[in-house]
A and B are shown apart, each in its own frame.
Chain A
């Protein structure tokens, strides 16, 4: 039995029902229950990866479990978010909100498990629409503006990605014949040298800009900080971090096709240059714009751009070790970032409201005076994001830098500069955020249930990098070797 199918379609099919029936609290509980079931399915996928259009390869399995795990912890913190009543939405909008959480989860999993370039595209498109609806939910002028920006930029990206998808089909069609074979990653990978190299290069440019928009690479990043700053935080920020992974993995898979075609003499260009340029641009732009942000959600949105850039840079360097570093970076970053957003949500709730607009750094400072545990957790997450040891990101960034020095020494200078600048910009906030003077009338409060889970997630982000279990290490290295 193919367990990928229930993992993908259970949330997608449940979404319309959640969107029509139930109260706000019921929606949150059902949302959590579905996430737990889907987490079970994604674990089961390890034993039943299935075959055909939707099946899990090693990469899909690893990131599938990560996605559903983060989805589960997000759904749990969503419970306290919903019950706190901070976000004022009508009942209809709460239903839509929970339905969209499920659509994002299902489409993200579909994007990871799809063995078809058309299906991958549909998944990314579905996730985009759901996230945009989520951003627009509060209907304030700034939320609608952010949603519009997201829609227009995301729409253009999606259009470009579709054009690229069709070009890949056209490149493969003479060799593999018309039909599904020319759209499946498995068969494309097996016959990669027979593909038309020049068409594949053209396709890659479109795909890179298309999925690059979804991965928020500079210069296509404009939507991300705005979108992260608006809408209910569990959907638009915590879950959206997962969508970046889908886009990055899509870029990685297409990069592999092109690299293998180049190596086999198929006539494609080397993809490295494109990826290195976009990756470095993202890193450096973030390095210079981080220090000017006053809103925490926007700030950490920019930091997501940085980490996307680092992953793409690693893919551009190429070779099994750098790809391994890039994938590890994505894994750890997802864990840390979503733990951070959950901690941020608790922190804002402790200061009165977790609705958008209450995330200014000045408003959140001195968190330790509101709740010790939340303060330390928030500080730990922000510190982990800098990539300084003992953060898990240090391990992946170390691998990437050492590979860069080995393979492309000149590139290591701008990379190192960008990393240091970003780390400095982020670490400046740790002190004030945790230990600073709290705003007047701050009382010590309880943090609410389930906050331990965010702490666990942060610990997992550390553990996975420094004490990786052997089976994960084996799987990740074989993926990296296969996709080099």
Chain B
């Protein structure tokens, strides 16, 4: 029996489920865990596509996803959450139930947009694309619904997972590994940005210019 189809779909489904569950989470730790599960599934999906398409650079994509997005980024974000003590600090702009209804609507839109326009493509690609567009849209929804900076970043990270999922599903697309590395650079800057932002908020009374003056003289 050919496993290409069901396995790729299973993993796409898990990724979508993680993206959807993020909408209902009130705690940052839970969102980070969901993101981690999503990234790990994504790396498995990339490995599987690499095996099924016989494409070597997809293994590389899978490896990068596993190490950086599956392990390092969640660790870094947990550090930030602990350090700034924002375990329960997720504010949502609308009731959870309503946001989930919006989420279902977005998935519907993604399916309705993608399936009719891609009639000529291979069916695996079509459905993969519908799933990844849903993940992208859900990530954007999370970004708009959360006020907290790190929750917004998690939404963006989830969006980005959707993009990599789409890229791995494209038959024979070149530069997938390179593109995912380029995305990772962006993500790294985002997480560092949050860190700086939080520092600034916490030590707002402290004059940073003074510190730099001292630092410069020290050199």
Residue numbers of A with Cβ under 8 A of B are: 88-91, 93, 116, 118-119, 121-122, 125-126, 128-129, 132-133, 136, 139, 141, 144, 147-148, 151-152, 155-156, 158-160, 162-163, 166, 169-170, 173-174, 177-180, 183, 196, 198-199, 201-202
Contact = CB atoms under 8 A, between A and B. Distances in A.
Given A133-B189, A136-B196, A162-B179, 6 more contacts: A125-B186, A144-B200, A152-B156, A155-B190, A170-B118, A183-B174
B96 interface: no
Contacts of B213: 88
A469 B197 CA distance: 50
Interface in B163-219: 163, 166-167, 170-175, 178-179, 182-183, 185-186, 189-190, 193, 196-197, 200, 204, 208-209, 212-213, 215-216, 219
B73 interface: no
B173 A199 contact: no
Interface in B143-162: 143, 149, 152, 156, 159-160
20 contacts: A88-B209, A88-B212, A90-B216, A118-B178, A125-B183, A141-B200, A141-B204, A148-B149, A152-B143, A152-B152, A155-B156, A162-B179, A166-B166, A170-B170, A173-B172, A174-B121, A178-B172, A178-B173, A179-B174, A199-B117
A156 B193 contact: no
B129 interface: yes
A204 to B, nearest CB: 12
Contacts of B193: 132, 136, 147-148, 151
Contacts of B200: 139, 141, 144
B163 A163 contact: yes
A332 B154 CA distance: 41
A118 B120 contact: no
B125 A170 contact: yes
B89 interface: no
B131 interface: no
Contacts of A162: 163, 167, 179, 183
Nearest to B117: A198
Nearest to B114: A202
A174 B190 contact: no
Nearest to A24: B216
A128 B163 CA distance: 18
Contacts of B175: 116, 118-119, 183
A116 B174 CA distance: 11
A12 B186 CA distance: 17
Nearest to A119: B175
Contacts of B183: 125, 162
B170 A173 contact: yes
Contacts of A133: 189
A174 B152 CA distance: 37
Interface in B116-143: 116-118, 120-121, 125, 129, 133, 136, 140, 143
Nearest to A167: B129
A183 B129 CA distance: 18
Contact of B121 (A89, A122, A159, A170): A170
The 7 A-B pairs at the shortest CB distance, nearest first, are namely: A178-B172, A90-B212, A198-B117, A118-B175, A122-B182, A90-B216, A202-B117
Contacts of A151: 189-190, 193
